[in-house]
């Protein structure tokens, strides 16, 4: 294999996005492929591991990754909650089924992206 061959994408290989929201959009298509199961808690664990790995590797945050930090505040307002617990707990309180909670997360994420500025 030549260096030029190594640079060519191979069949079935997904090019990893360079933007946090594009990454989430990719995961949305097949969450269990990335997280091992179709659940909001599994996605949250995966995202925390992803963030930790980037920090350990001294990689900068992806574009929009810091914007996502405001998502919990958005969820507090959406559900009119004034206590702690994080966005996962809030969404799972209303959507007990793991797949439904994940679907609701992506619906709310789309709403957050539409209504908040970067």
Number of domains comprising the chain: 1
Global pTM reads: 0.83
The answer to whether 43 touches 35, Cβ cutoff 8 Å, is yes
Considering the domain boundaries, does residue 2 fall inside one?
no
Q: What is the pLDDT of residue 81?
A: 86
On whether residue 3 sits in a domain, the answer given is no
Q: How far apart are CA 91 and CA 93, in angstroms?
A: 5
Domain assignment present for residue 36? The answer is yes
Q: What is the 8-class DSSP label of residue 13? A: P
Instruction: For residue range 57-77, list pLDDT tens digits in order.
Output: 999 999 999 999 999 999 999
pLDDT digits (tens, 9 = 90+) for 11-64: 566 688 899 999 999 999 999 999 999 999 999 999 999 999 999 999 999 999
Residue 11 lies in a domain: no
Q: Find the radius of gyration of the CA atoms of the chain.
A: 16
pLDDT of residue 1: 46
Name the residue range of residue 54's domain. 17-25+32-115
**Nearest-angstrom CA–CA distance, 113 and 99:** 21
The fraction of the chain above a pLDDT of 90, given in percent, is 74
Phi/psi of residue 11, nearest 5 degrees: -60, 135
Residue 89 placed within a domain:
yes
Which tokens hold the place of 92? 């799972």
């Amino acid at each position: 294999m030549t260096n030029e061959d190594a640079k060519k994408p191979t069949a079935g290989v997904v090019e990893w996005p360079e933007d946090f929201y594009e990454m989430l959009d990719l995961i949305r298509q097949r969450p269990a492929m990335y997280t091992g199961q179709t659940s909001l808690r599994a996605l949250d664990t995966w995202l925390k591991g992803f963030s930790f790995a980037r920090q350990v590797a001294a990689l900068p945050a992806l574009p929009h990754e810091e914007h996502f930090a405001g998502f919990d505040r958005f969820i507090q307002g959406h559900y009119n909650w004034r206590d702690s617990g994080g966005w996962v707990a809030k969404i799972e309180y209303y959507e007990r089924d793991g797949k439904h909670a994940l679907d609701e997360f992506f619906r709310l994420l789309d709403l957050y992206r539409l209504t908040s500025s970067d």
